[in-house]
Amino acid sequence: MDQFQKLTLLSENLDVEEGDSLINCSPKNKPQPTISYAKLPNGKSMPLLKSMITSVCENNCYYCAFRAGRDCQRASFTPDEMADTFTKLNNKNIAKGLFLSSGIAGSSVRIQDKIIDTAAILRKKLNYQGYMHLKIMPGAEFSQIENLMLYADRVSINLEAPNHERLSRLAPKKDFYDALYLRLSWAAQIRDNLMSFGSKRRKSPSITTQFVVGPSGESDYELLKTSVFLINTFRLARIYFMTFRPVLGTPLAETAPEDPLRGHRLYQSSFLMRDYGFHFEDFAFLPNGNLRLDRDPKQIWAEINLSESPLEINQASRSELLRIPGIGPKRVKLIIEYRQKNLIRTEEDLKKLGIPIEKSGKYLLLNGKRALRQLPLFAF
Ligand code: SF4
């Protein structure tokens, strides 16, 4: 099996963070490793090779295509092979960054060493300076995470569920507190040490985690409550919500897939907390603990809080403006700059600032007067 055939096997069922569009990138008549596009904070996207060191795994997570005992073809790379394969794709500009994870074959410590070795070869021997997102294995040692974080731009360890009880319904071999949560806390501690004592690397790595949404019966209330705690405690860069899709040959094969819109609403809520100053208490949950799917959470907040008392756009503070549907940090900046010299009076003025009146108008006063247009019935 050549390296591209292996890559195909190692990436085709990999449910991973960062970017959702998978494309085939192989040269003609070759097997097809998959590349996904990760969105960067500047809005551009970067082709990312997502792969595993090995798809052999001794764990039996109920949702996973690589679980032990599932009948599927498996493949493994040595660190040298992985570094070489990625470098070939990188030199051809097919992959500009690397996301590296793994199944657990042998032990977590053994596999973590392979990921560290791959990163070390790329950084030290091959002088690769680009983006690397590296996985922390459940049960990795403190010193291994320290080493990993010297090479990574981002590290992550997936909690998968919001608490121990929910995790036991998904991954009975994983210990929520010891194998996962403790390692996440170590990563935060190591990042803070790197920041305090200065590191030779350009920037200390960011940290993320991921939840599987749906099959443990968890509610959005539980997921967001845990998210707030993690973001505040460990300053996570973000949380990924992977909406569940059943995989043939797993114990959850007959379980219905989760509605992707649910994951979308969870992302919206977590970004509102991270970037817009929203608090957990600002969200309205249904009696089953989930968010409504028919409207976005910011819209719902505005309907409850601003319909009767719209904000004067010429006087509202930055944090108040961020509460208005259709207005994000970039538009707030434009509004504040514009207000220094002008009064915002008309729909035309809103247009100039790129503010969508059909979304924002109901919650605004333009120099004391209500903007006239009403919201459409459903705003997705
Ligand atoms: S540890 Fe669980 S999620 Fe990770 S590869 Fe193994 S079975 Fe899949």
Q: How far is the CA of 45 from the centre of ligand 1 (A)?
A: 28
Nearest CA, atom 1, ligand 1 = 59
Q: How far is the CA of 68 from the centre of ligand 1 (A)?
A: 8
For residue 362, what are its two tokens?
């109901």
Atom of ligand 1 nearest to the CA of 171: 2
Atom of ligand 1 nearest to the CA of 55: 5
* Among the listed residues 151, 167, 168, the one whose alpha carbon sits nearest the alpha carbon of residue 159: 167
Q: How far is the CA of 198 from the centre of ligand 1 (A)?
A: 34
Confidence at residue 200, expressed as pLDDT on a 0 to 100 scale? 58
**Pairwise CA distance, residues 281 & 356, whole Å:** 27
Q: How far is the CA of 156 from the centre of ligand 1 (A)?
A: 14
Q: Which of 17, 54, 104 to mutate to test the pocket of ligand 1 (most atoms within 8 A of CB)?
A: 104
pLDDT digits (tens, 9 = 90+) for 313-333: 999 999 999 999 999 999 999
Q: How far is the CA of 20 from the centre of ligand 1 (A)?
A: 20
Nearest CA, atom 4, ligand 1 = 103
Q: How far is the CA of 59 from the centre of ligand 1 (A)?
A: 6
Confidence at residue 27, expressed as pLDDT on a 0 to 100 scale? 39
**Pairwise CA distance, residues 144 & 233, whole Å:** 22
Confidence at residue 291, expressed as pLDDT on a 0 to 100 scale? 98
Confidence at residue 20, expressed as pLDDT on a 0 to 100 scale? 37
Q: How far is CA 155 from CA 81, 183, 271, in A?
A: 21, 11, 20
Contact residues of ligand 1, CB 6 A cut-off: 57, 59, 61, 64, 66-67, 103-104, 171
Residue with tokens 């960067």: 40
Nearest CA, atom 7, ligand 1 = 67
Atom of ligand 1 nearest to the CA of 58: 6
According to DSSP, the β-strands at 22-24 and 131-135 are unpaired
Confidence at residue 25, expressed as pLDDT on a 0 to 100 scale? 36
Confidence at residue 190, expressed as pLDDT on a 0 to 100 scale? 96
Atom of ligand 1 nearest to the CA of 67: 7
Contact between 145 and 183 (Cβ < 8 Å):
yes
pLDDT digits (tens, 9 = 90+) for 194-215: 887 665 556 789 999 999 999 9
The predicted model scores a pTM of: 0.87
Q: Which of 50, 51, 63, 66 to mutate to test the pocket of ligand 1 (most atoms within 8 A of CB)?
A: 66
Q: How is domain 3-259 classified at the CATH fold level?
A: TIM Barrel (3.20.20)
For residue 38, give the H/E element and its range.
Answer: strand 34-39
Contact between 161 and 181 (Cβ < 8 Å):
no
Q: How far is CA 166 from CA 59, 213, 217, 249, 307, in A?
A: 17, 11, 8, 22, 38
* Among the listed residues 352, 372, 353, the one whose alpha carbon sits nearest the alpha carbon of residue 362: 372
Q: How far is the CA of 99 from the centre of ligand 1 (A)?
A: 16
Backbone angles phi, psi at 219, to 5 degrees: -100, 165
Q: How far is the CA of 56 from the centre of ligand 1 (A)?
A: 9
Q: How far is the CA of 302 from the centre of ligand 1 (A)?
A: 41
Nearest CA, atom 2, ligand 1 = 61
Nearest CA, atom 5, ligand 1 = 103
Give pLDDT < 50 ranges for the chain: 16, 19-32, 374-375, 377-380
For residue 135, give the H/E element and its range.
Answer: strand 131-135
| Residue ranges covered by each domain of the chain | 3-259, 297-370
Confidence at residue 22, expressed as pLDDT on a 0 to 100 scale? 35
**Pairwise CA distance, residues 288 & 4, whole Å:** 46
Residue 189, C-beta contacts closer than 8 angstroms, at least 6 positions apart? none
Q: How far is the CA of 368 from the centre of ligand 1 (A)?
A: 58
Atom of ligand 1 nearest to the CA of 138: 1
Q: How far is CA 85 from CA 17, 31, 49, 210, 212, in A?
A: 21, 13, 10, 27, 30
Confidence at residue 44, expressed as pLDDT on a 0 to 100 scale? 82
